[in-house]
Chain A
Amino acid sequence: MSAVGATLNVNGRPISLAEVPDDERLLDTLRWRLHLRGTKEGCRSGGCGACTVLIDGRPTLSCLTLTRELEGRGVTTIEGAPDLPAGRVVISAFETEGAVQCGYCTPGFVMALTGLLGRTPPDRRSPERLLRELQGNLCRCTGYAAIARAVERAHREAP
């Protein structure tokens, strides 16, 4: 059943899946096979959002995604965020607003917000909706205040 030679695309680079065990999660593939450790391991059970990446542009929890289920799909991680127009806006907004403290939740927040901005046309987007859709990303340092300011800034500045 295994699709030998099938690939997925990570940050614009094709990756062969041939040697990935069936039970491997995307989180572990990224961190330990591809050495992309910017994607953070938090709770590994979908409760913190630290491992959020984009799959075909859509924010997704890499801890609850089997790598083999992604054949032919495109994955973007924090390392690839600067290549996306929305990603650049989000990164700059987080830095300007001081939304980074310990930084462990940061890659997940950046990817989630990048995906949400890329997905929703500006006329259907609002800071309130973005903030509601970011409730799955937990932060223990900032109290979300600076993150909320960064979301508002990114909303204003996003393409």
Chain B
Amino acid sequence: MGSFELVTPASEEEAIAWLARAPGGEAAVLAGGTDLLNDIEEHRITPRHLLSLRRLPWNRWNWIGPALEVGSTTPLVDLEYDPKVRAQFPGLVTAIEAVGSVALRSRATLGGNLGRSGSASDLIPLLLALDASAEIVGPKGVRTTPVDTLVVASRRPALGAGELIRSVRLPEPRPSAYLWQRIRPAQDVSHVGVAVAWSPADGRWRIAVGGVPPRAIRIHPEAAELPPRPSSPEREAAARRAAELLPLSTDLRATGEYRRHVVHALVLRAVGSVTAMREGSA
């Protein structure tokens, strides 16, 4: 009893079947609950049922060749404490450490973060820069979709009826960096987050920017290669493009104008930092 009923299926099939039948708007999916439970506490949403993923075996990760496949209910703290994850995906660990506190990250999950898709998510920009994809299970079976198409807007992932995010796949380790700007350095919502990665597979750069509604955006630099020189026109063009594509948005934390200014600066810095990583490993 209580304001909602907790539904705790023991298998994936059971979970999908229950969710597919659940009346729209009355059910919410519970992963770690660190965001969802706050919305319920403040009566922003009043679901009658919470589908708990606790008993599903989705709280672990596997290495598949160079790729990392992370079960959607894996607590973030497990990833940040893993030496191999730290070594292979430094940008991801930086982004994880930007989410709340250690005690919050012991509940918070990667799948939950994607499912809630907060526009200020510190993880989504990095996932975009890593070309991450999500494995979705539902009544029609399993499908794989890029994070870029899964994330639509806050609290609105592109999921069909009865669909759940089972895992997130990071295709290859990449030199990557995540830089954020906040009013308070620790424990704050980033008003801008910039993720930059360089793919050894195709030799191209990825840039993604978070902190703007409706969702983080990915920017493809026009130049394939951003030269090692810090003040190259290619880098400047990439930073300007990121700043210009950013939807102007003012909220309590920052004006759109300031966000634009910060994005420009952080893209240059993040590219510099990834360049240094490439040189360091070369």
Interface residues of A (CB under 8 A from B): 1-3, 21-25, 44-47, 49, 52, 55, 58-61, 64-66, 68-69, 112, 116, 119, 133-137
Which of B100-108, B120-128, B192-200 faces chain A? B100-108
Q: Give the residue of A23, A49, A55, A66 whose beta carbon is less than 8 angstroms from that of B101.
A: A49
Contacts of B106 in A (CB 8 A): 55, 58-61
How far apart sit A78 and B32, CA to CA, in the bound complex (Å)? 23
State whether the Cβ of B6 lies closer than 8 Å to any Cβ in chain A.
yes
Evaluate whether A60 and B103 lie within 8 angstroms (CB atoms) in the complex, with A22-B50, A46-B38, A69-B52 already known. yes
Contacts of B104 in A (CB 8 A): 46, 61, 64, 136
State whether the Cβ of B41 lies closer than 8 Å to any Cβ in chain A.
yes
Count of inter-chain pairs, beta carbons less than 8 A: 90
B interface, size bucket: 20 to 34
Q: Give the residue of B2, B33, B38, B81 whose beta carbon is less than 8 angstroms from that of A65.
A: B33
**With A46-B34, A46-B101, A133-B102 already in contact, 14 other A-B pairs whose C-beta atoms are closer than 8 Å:** A22-B2, A22-B6, A23-B2, A23-B4, A24-B2, A44-B41, A46-B38, A52-B103, A59-B106, A61-B107, A64-B38, A64-B104, A66-B52, A133-B101
State whether the Cβ of B186 lies closer than 8 Å to any Cβ in chain A.
yes
State whether the Cβ of B8 lies closer than 8 Å to any Cβ in chain A.
yes
State whether the Cβ of B77 lies closer than 8 Å to any Cβ in chain A.
yes
Closest to A124 in B: B83
Instruction: Say whether A45 contacts B6, CB under 8 Å.
Output: no
Closest to B53 in A: A69
Instruction: Say whether B4 contacts A22, CB under 8 Å.
Output: yes
